[in-house]
Chain A
Amino acid sequence: MRVTNGGATGIYAFGTAFDMVAGGRYDLVFCVGAEKATDCYDFMSETQTPEVVQTIAWSWDPLFERDQGATASDSYAEVILAYMDQYPNDLKMAVRGEILRIMCEQAKNNPNAQRRDEIVTPERVANSPWIIEPAFKKLETCVYTEGACCLIFAAEGVAEEICKDSGQPPIWIEGVGFANEPYWWGIKHPHKLPGRIESDHLAAKAAYEMAGVGPKDIKVVELHDAFLPQLEITMAEMGFVPLGHADDLIEKKIMAPHGKVLINPSGGLIYGGHFVGGSNMFSAWSARRELIRRGLDYALIHGTGASSAQYGGAAVLKRGVI
């Protein structure tokens, strides 16, 4: 089975592997996510990045959008700007800088993070150049990269045997949820609504309901942070803070180390690196690691993708015992 679903490929492959085991078709599924796309080369700028960005941009509507210069970055910027239209006092730069500082520190504990040697301060974030103005700056952007990750999904019975052999506790998938929004934006449904990432909201809601938990039970979140302001919006959509008050993550001391919720202990995609085909699996790896190391009960992993963040996926993980 091959799964490709834009930026959310990792979480959708995760969901597919889960379905294969939970549906009873297989006892054991080996799920591999990989990315190899930085071979592109732009002859005009004599660098790789613009052509890599262009390659991703081919996925836009070929008739109405592709020719207008649409990119993955500006599609997320549209979402962020529309949110800022509705909530102009949220997503303050000082808060964004502090979240980035924390994630940068956290990346140092991740041996696989690609930007673990950097020092990022709120001041450096504020002074970095705009990528899409006024949505986000260079230091608020994930690092598109190459990499691979694999996860083993095992049915009850088989999982315990593997864990006895390895001496590691199992991590149970208690809930999964996926939601795709409409492609076309508009003023009401069935169009994508400005200021929202409903895919994230619906996916997380479905995962919570299946697991029988809520945001208050989650102590580790590994979130697909394509861009920092989107991380804040997604945290609001997933119920950790109210929409319009995403800055509460810092201002009301919700995010660790100020608060109790550990957000992107891997450094996220911004510091860990975004290898699109496997990033969300890397998130699952990190969530498992933190649940075991810290003795916590529940974690939430999240993936987003496609233009305008239309694809959303989430899964609730629970630490088991050997």
Chain B
Amino acid sequence: MEKLLRRPGDYVIPHEAIPEVMSRITVSPEDKFVCVERTEPMFTTYWATAGEISPFFLAVMKEKKILGARCPKCKMVICPPYMTRCPVCQNDDYSLVNLETGIEMPQVGYMLGTPPITVFANARFARYAPFGRGRVILGESQSALPIQVFTTTGFLKPGIFKAGTKVKIVFRKFRMGFSTDYFAVPLDEVPEKLRDKNGLEETALKWKSMEVGEPQLTDDFRKQFPKALQAVAKFVGAIPKSPRAQRDIANWTRKILVKTGGGKFGLLLDKQKIKVVKDKVPRPDLVLVMENPAHLIGWTNGDSLVNLIRTGGAGINNLQDMETIFKFDRLHRSIRRDAEERGKK
């Protein structure tokens, strides 16, 4: 591979060209219709209007209400109000019936299906992973409201939300007219006295963050530790022979402290290499904690650290740095594939 040339500090898309996330309320000069306008995340410089859907977002912003729409003819209710005419009547007899808008929906509902939890997110949402997104049925609505789902108990794990789970709509303290101004939490995580309260704000709930404590040192784990450390050193020592693995960690720098029930060590990630250090790592960027050092041997054999964190076998002190763990999980496959190719040659 030819040497990568770069001009430090320069970007193809300069940061000043990326618009901030903003919203504003405007009034159409012709018909005085009140609209919500937002900056679009597609790095464009213009404002995008919510148009005829604006009343939904205005109600969220100003009144902490969720609005639906109802057909005056067949009485069908939809939430969100994604259409202005009734699709049922149109299908039945081709009639174009305008829906009644502004129908206030209840703020307790149920999940239409089990929501997916995204672990490997796209660029814009990587720092939020893992996160959940699903659909909730409110009241008599036949359609489901797309919604982010959160737990007040820390790490979002499978099983917290399932099809049919009763949920409560919660509103952000600061609302800007986006579909992220509201989200759902399991109803049983909401104190009973707040369950019937409409317009519940996030600050009314108690939120636990992921706690990463000190691993408990045991004799068994101490015995396993040297073997685990040796396996890790051998594994990361294979990176310089693997172009794929080097690509996985290109332009990535981290000082990582690994704490196990058998001892600690550091991983210094820089210049497409990972160096194992037995000394203390001063001011680490990331701390990875696990009781059993044998998990590290598993990782060098292809087990997933993401899975380990997800299932509670390990923890990191900064969930927003899952990207580093994703990169670590890619290494085994890359090293193996390059080794297999070398073997064929």
Contact = CB atoms under 8 A, between A and B. Distances in A.
Contacts of A82: 112-114, 163
B215 interface: no
Contacts of B126: 42, 44-45, 50
Contact of B116 (A67, A127, A135, A188): A135
B121 A69 contact: yes
A19 interface: no
Nearest to B87: A190
B250 interface: yes
Interface stretch (A27-35, A56-64, A241-249): A56-64
B175 to A, nearest CB: 12
B41 A66 contact: yes
Contact of A184 (B40, B82, B303, B337): B82
A71 B117 CA distance: 11
A186 B77 CA distance: 11
Given A66-B41, A68-B133, A69-B131, A77 B82 contact: no
Contacts of A186: 78, 112, 137, 141-144
A185 B116 contact: no
Interface stretch (A89-97, A117-125, A260-268): A117-125
B16 to A, nearest CB: 14
Given A129-B329, A194-B163, A124 B178 contact: no
Contacts of A77: 116
A133 B158 contact: yes
B195 interface: no
Interface in A69-84: 69-71, 73-74, 77-78, 81-82, 84
Contacts of B302: 124, 127-128
B337 A185 contact: no
B251 interface: yes
Contacts of A130: 119, 304, 306-307, 310
A65 B310 contact: no
A41 B250 CA distance: 13
Interface string B275-316: 000000000000000000000000000111011001000000
B204 interface: no
Nearest to A78: B116
B123 A54 contact: yes
Contacts of A69: 118, 121-122, 124-125, 128, 131, 133, 148
**Which residue, B116, B146, B147, has most C-beta atoms of chain A within 10 A?**
B116
Contacts of A57: 122
Contact of A129 (B115, B148, B306): B306
B261 interface: no
B46 to A, nearest CB: 13
A233 to B, nearest CB: 14
B134 interface: yes
A209 B131 CA distance: 43
B340 interface: yes
A188 B141 CA distance: 10
Contacts of A184: 78, 82, 143-144
A80 to B, nearest CB: 8
Contacts of A131: 119-120
Contacts of A128: 302, 304
A201 to B, nearest CB: 18
Nearest to B341: A117
A41 to B, nearest CB: 7
Nearest to A136: B116
B17 interface: no
Interface in B117-165: 117-128, 130-131, 133-135, 137, 141-148, 158, 162-163
A129 B119 contact: yes
Contacts of B11: 43
B122 A71 contact: yes
B251 to A, nearest CB: 4
- Size category of the binding interface on chain A: 35 or more
A85 B113 contact: yes
A132 B91 CA distance: 36
A78 B115 contact: yes
A185 B123 contact: no
A50 B48 CA distance: 24
Given A50-B126, A68-B147, A68-B180, A73 B91 contact: no
B179 A67 contact: yes
Given A67-B180, A85-B114, A187-B112, A127 B146 contact: no
Nearest to B301: A127
Contacts of A85: 113-114, 162-163
Contact of A185 (B112, B121, B148, B323): B112
A187 B137 CA distance: 8
**Which residue, B122, B131, B145, has most C-beta atoms of chain A within 10 A?**
B122
Nearest to B133: A68
B302 to A, nearest CB: 6
B114 A58 contact: no
A65 B179 contact: yes
A191 interface: yes
Contacts of B158: 133-134
B53 interface: yes
A41 B12 contact: yes
B169 to A, nearest CB: 14
19 contacts: A45-B126, A50-B126, A53-B122, A57-B122, A64-B146, A66-B179, A69-B128, A78-B116, A81-B115, A81-B116, A85-B113, A117-B341, A127-B303, A130-B310, A131-B119, A132-B119, A134-B117, A134-B158, A194-B163
Given A53-B123, A185-B144, A186-B143, 8 more contacts: A44-B126, A53-B122, A61-B82, A64-B82, A77-B116, A82-B112, A130-B307, A184-B78
Interface of B: 11-13, 40-42, 48, 50, 53, 57, 78, 80, 82, 87-88, 91, 112-128, 130-131, 133-135, 137, 141-148, 158, 162-163, 178-180, 250-252, 302-304, 306-307, 310, 323, 326, 329, 337, 340-341, 344
Top 5 closest A-B pairs, CB basis? Answer: A77-B116, A129-B304, A82-B113, A54-B122, A50-B123
